[in-house]
Amino acid sequence: MDLAITQVPIWLSVVFIISFISIPPLLIANAAKSALIKVDDTKAQFIKKKILGFYIVFFCTVASVSLTGFFVPNMLPPRIIVAVVIPLFLFYVLYVQRQFWFKQVFDNISLESLVGIHLFRFVGVFFFLVEMYDALPLVFASIGGGGDILTAALAIPVIYLLKKGYKYAKQAVLIWNIIGLLDILSVLTTAIIITRSAIKYNDEGVASFGTFPFSWIPAFAPATIIFLHIITFRKLKQIKN
């Protein structure tokens, strides 16, 4: 059986694997740990390991399924959304959010930490790198990669404003959060539009994002990013009250 592997140079896949399997989970786990240290240092260490362990299992599972080609066919709704994105989002909302440790994290995490997690969205550069090898449509790479890089870049001055304690820092977070949420929603919308067109005209569309290792992006990013933005809205409301 032929393995469904993204048709890009091996160096690009290796760099992506190392970057994606380490940076996003570490940013999330370290943010949770920093918040919990204020309550219980031992528990903070345990939760960090638990989060990292979950994402290792998650990425390995997605990789195994991706290699079979299960996510490759162009169809609506895309298989990866039905089989991975929606279940992961529901897992965050219906399970993680109800855990006592999460409530402690939420109560103690700073806005700086929440915004800082989104620095992992600099991995949006891989959209452009994959497009360079004709494995993605330019329009999708521009919207997906450009939006993620912009959101990550804007996070830096927002974090600076928060650390300096400027009175308009929270307003900046609100604007940034809206921009970041609209970005990920626009990526999902664009992917669906391109997939519909690919089905109609028998094109490849964004099928390469159903292959290993780049299937990790649609499997992990939409659900995680949307959930993080929702948490940030809630945190802003909590601080305001």
Using 50 as the pLDDT threshold, list the residues of the chain that sit under it.
Answer: none
pLDDT of residue 241: 64
8 A C-beta contact, residue 208 and residue 127: no
8 A C-beta contact, residue 115 and residue 176: yes
Task: Name the token pair of 201.
Answer: 């005209």
Domain boundaries defined on the chain? 10-240
pLDDT of residue 4: 95
pLDDT of residue 239: 87
Among all chains, which residue has been given the structure tokens 């550069």? Answer: 125
d(CA 19, CA 192): 26
d(CA 162, CA 158): 6
pLDDT of residue 2: 82
pLDDT of residue 1: 63
Report the length, in residues, of the chain.
241
SS (H, E, C) the chain: CCCCECCCCHHHHHHHHHHHHHHHHHHHHHHHHHHHHCCCHHHHHHHHHHHHHHHHHHHHHHHHHHHCCCCCCCCCCCHHHHHHHHHHHHHHHHHHHHCHHHHHHHHHCCHHHHHHHHHHHHHHHHHHHHHHCCCCCHHHHHHHHHHHHHHHHHHHHHHHHHHHCCCCHHHHHHHHHHHHHHHHHHHHHHHHHHHHHHHHHCCCCCHHHHCECCCHHHHHHHHHHHHHHHHHHHHHHHHHC
The closest of 222, 216, 206, 207 to 62, measured between CA atoms, is 216
Report CA torsion sign: 19, 22, 25, 28.
negative
Average pLDDT, rounded, for the chain = 95
